[in-house]
Structure 1
Amino acid sequence: MTEDFYDILGVSRDASDEEIQQAYREAVREYHPDVSDDPDAEEKFKKAKTAKEVLTDDEKRRMYDQMGHEQFVEAEKRGATDSGRGGAGGMGGMGGMGGGGPFGDMQDIFDQFFGGGGGGGRNRPRQGQDLKTSLEIDLEEAYHGVEKQMDVRRPEQCSDCDGRGHPPGTDSQTCPECNGQGQTTTVQQTPFGRMQSRQTCRRCEGEGTIYEETCSTCGGNGVVRADATLTVEVPAGIRDGQTLRMDGEGAPGERGARNGDLLVEISVADHPDFEREGDDLYTNAPISFPQAVFGDTIQIDTLDGTVELEIPDGTQSGEQFRLRKKGMPRLQRRGQGNLYVQVQVVTPESLNADQKEALEQFAEAGGEEIEVEQGFFDKIRDSL
């Protein structure tokens, strides 16, 4: 078998257990020897079943991802002897990791492959998978904090069978393959002693019980996809790209284990008037030529109302002023950033007769021979 287990089932390497189970069920419907006309159906069915058993076992999947397909398959064929020897050099130098030398990492691999003394398999409670989604808010909402409602489609426990995978009252019997243990055990003699290899029972898939009927709603998986409306509490000061964790709102756990969490990545939309850098905000404010020359008090819009800014006389276009603590709240800390205001001197596009006369007198008083009609303001603009 040279195919990658992920390729056999047609799933990505970060596929969830639910996605893997769904892919396996599709493979069963297509390649089960009792229903398929494909001459290679039996072989394809076996490959799909093997892939599913490895990828739905947390410990085996970790080992498979670490070792790669070929070395993992060889380890299963040859047992602990070849798997252990590979730790020193045959696994791409893994033995040098963790400061424990080759035998330190080899023991980790043994723990993963043989159950680690704690017992692997699917018959123990297992926490549900974490799920991810995204939510966009505007800068005002990031400033004040906001409570948002969000619609998500997620796996939930099947209500028709209460997550059991079979209808209530379905006839059942103890699995004869594992005697109700959910696991089968193989004893192997190695240079390190007798090793016990525990694997999920292939017949009952770790349940320990075989049921005569599966739930038609969830296909025996105990989980269905459903729409849910959730309320997200977005704290003030959150930044673009940060993630909120909603406890217990992820995929349902197995056999009574807790649900996973829902991770919500926050996207803060651009604002037409403000730019953000960390907790500081930046904006522009127009002022007239007389305001720049003589000084003035102007009104500045912030995300929390209007404040006054004193413009001193002789202010130059492009000069920047700081308004302390008028920026973004500091997330989970006291205080706020600053608001930086860059002023721009606005040149009027047209003047009346009195304005032209006044500016001509201003120019003459400065010893400049300038005709206003010939681009006086253009020259002022160029000099700034």
Structure 2
Amino acid sequence: MTDHYETLGVARDAGQDEIKKAYRRLARELHPDVNPSADAAERFKDVTHAYDVLGDAQSRAEYDRGPQPGMSGFGFGDIFEQFFGGGGRGQGPRPRRQPGQDSLLRVDLELGDVVFGVHRELRVQTAVLCSTCDGACTAPGTREERCTMCGGSGHVQRQVRSLLGNVVTSQPCQVCQGHGTVIPSPCPTCAGHGRVRAERTIPVDIPAGVDTGLRIQLPGQGEVGEAGGPAGTLYLEVNVKHHDVFSRSGDDLLGTLEVSMPDAALGTRTTVEAIDGPVDVEVKPGVQSGDVITIGGRGVTRLRGAGRGDLRLGVHVVTPTRLDRRSEELLRELRERTKAPAPSLGEFKQGLFAKMRDRLRL
């Protein structure tokens, strides 16, 4: 605890006039208008506080009494501090080296990227280790020095008068910011922080099967901490962009296969271009709109597990809208030959509407 008599530079038996003269002399020397240094400002506060205690006869008498008998060396103010907090008794200096913060980066992927996975070189703006001081925060050839204000403890203690008596408080030292050391010559590159802002290129292998909203965790790829502290975690938030032909449902790929009315009636074989290349498709005779043709193993690679999902093609039978006279004659003849019934209300079929919903999802 700071000795107020020592702060004012007077003996313990000094008279009130001597205490007042000592305060005025020091106040003129340390006042911020006369001495703008940070050290002078801190001492000015200490001197003013010391005079507040010793300049009043009653508070000086309480201060002189100090710890009371039977209290094992602790005054009432010390007990108050223990229960209500003094901010630093028994604490050491605050480490200058701190862990870095985590970062979040959005990554846009094509649908094809998630089928088999993709390698990306990501460029990010982040905090990196200062190459000049290597995180030491000091200029080359210099080092940190012990703080003379707190003696390296990182905290300063003050005795404050209150209704409960003298309360001893402990606060972080304002000169060293609680670190216990000061940096007389900060690194010119990082200004004493041990890190700088820079652009980094991070190679990333994005696994197959990821989907929008999933976060990939990269420990140690976030921001470097103060004074070269360990880097945080970089989180990559995946966003799969819209595809004009295919959409995704779990590990399956969904698409629409447009089939002409004759091919739907007679059946046909065709080849379509899937995400990963051509695939043969068989359209069976009599296929209806809403039917689904499944090609196994041509979907998305499973994120957890082996194999791939399926490619599911919803059939859309295309009815011709422009017919020449001969085509109309043939269709009329077909209608007569197949004895096609006239349109009418039939039995309600839930499955039909399920197919319609599936079609809308495609």
Shorter-chain TM-score: which interval? 0.5 to 0.7
CA drift at 1:137: 1.1
Map of 2:231 onto structure 1:
259
Q: 1:345 matched to which residue of 2?
A: 317
Find the aligned partners of 1:329 and 1:138 in 2 and give their Cα distance: 14
Matched, 1:81 2:83: yes
Distance in 2, matches of 1:198 and 1:272, equals: 66
Deviation by residue 1:225-280 (Cα, 9 ceiling, x = unmatched): 11112222111111111112223221113556432121111111011011112222
1:304 maps to which of 276, 282, 297: 276
- Greater gyration radius: 2
| Percentage identity across paired residues of the two chains | 34
Instruction: Quote the residue 2:112 is aligned against.
Output: 140
Aligned 8 A contact 2:101 2:233 in 1 = yes
TM-score normalized by the length of structure 1: 0.59
Name the structure 1 match of 2:181: 209
Give the conservation status (yes or no) of the 8 Å contact 1:120–1:198.
Answer: no
Aligned in 2, Cα 1:218/1:287: closer, same or farther, shift over 3 Å? same
Change over 3 Å in CA distance of 1:318–1:205 after alignment to 2: same
| Residue correspondence of structure 1 range 198-347 to structure 2 within 5 A | 200-254=172-226, 257-347=229-319
CA deviation map 1:54-109 (0-9, x unaligned): xxxxxxxxxxxxxxxxxxxxxxxx755357xxxxxxxxxxxxxxxxxxxxxxxxxx
Q: CA deviation at 1:182?
A: 4.0
Q: 2:138 corresponds to which residue?
A: 166
Q: Which moved more, 1:309-318 or 1:345-354?
A: 345-354
**Alpha carbons 1:142, 1:236 under 8 Å: kept:** yes
Distance 2:93 2:118 in 1: 43
SS in 2 for 1:355: helix
> Could you state the TM-score of these two structures normalised by the residue count of structure 2?
0.62
Report the CA distance shift for 1:166/1:341 in structure 2 as closer, same or farther (over 3 A).
same
Residues 258 and 316, structure 2, Cα contact 8 Å, conserved in 1: yes
Offset of residue 172 of structure 1: 5.2
> What letter is aligned with 1:282?
L
- Structure-1 separation of matches of 2:207 and 2:265: 43
- The answer for the alignment partner of 2:328 in structure 1 is 356
Give the superposition deviation at 1:224: 1.4
CA distance in 2, matches of 1:182, 1:82: 20
- Using the TM superposition, give the Cα deviation of residue 124 of structure 1 relative to its aligned residue in structure 2, in angstroms: 6.7
Compared CA separation, residues 369 and 170, structure 1 to 2 (3 A):
closer
Deviation at 1:133, TM superposition (A): 1.1
Q: Give the CA deviation at 1:326.
A: 2.1
Q: CA deviation at 1:127?
A: 2.6
Tell me, in whole angstroms, the C-alpha distance in 1 between the residues paired with 2:143 and 2:300: 62
The amino acid across from 2:264 in the alignment is: A
Correspondence 1:169-180 to 2 at 5 A: 169-170=141-142, 173-180=145-152
Q: CA RMSD in A?
A: 3.6
CA distance in 2, matches of 1:202, 1:225: 27
The superposition leaves residues 15-44 of structure 1 with CA deviations (integer Å, 9 ceiling, x where unpaired) of xxxxxxxxxxxxxxxxxx78xxxxxxx9xx
Partner of 1:53: none
Higher relative contact order (CA 8 A, sep 6+): 2
Matches of 1:197 and 1:315, distance apart in 2: 86
- 8 Å CA contact 1:274–1:282 kept in 2: the answer is yes
What residue number does 2:163 align with? none
Distance 1:215 1:301 in 2: 60
**Higher helix proportion:** 1
Structure 2: state its 5+ residue gaps.
1-31, 34-40, 46-79, 160-167, 343-355, 357-362
1:155 to partner: Cα distance: 0.9
Change (3 A) 1:186 1:234: farther
Local SS of the residue matching 1:286:
strand
Other structure's SS at 1:363 match = helix
Q: Which blocks of at least 5 consecutive residues in structure 1 are unaligned?
A: 1-32, 35-41, 47-77, 84-109, 188-195, 371-383
Aligned residue type for 2:323: L
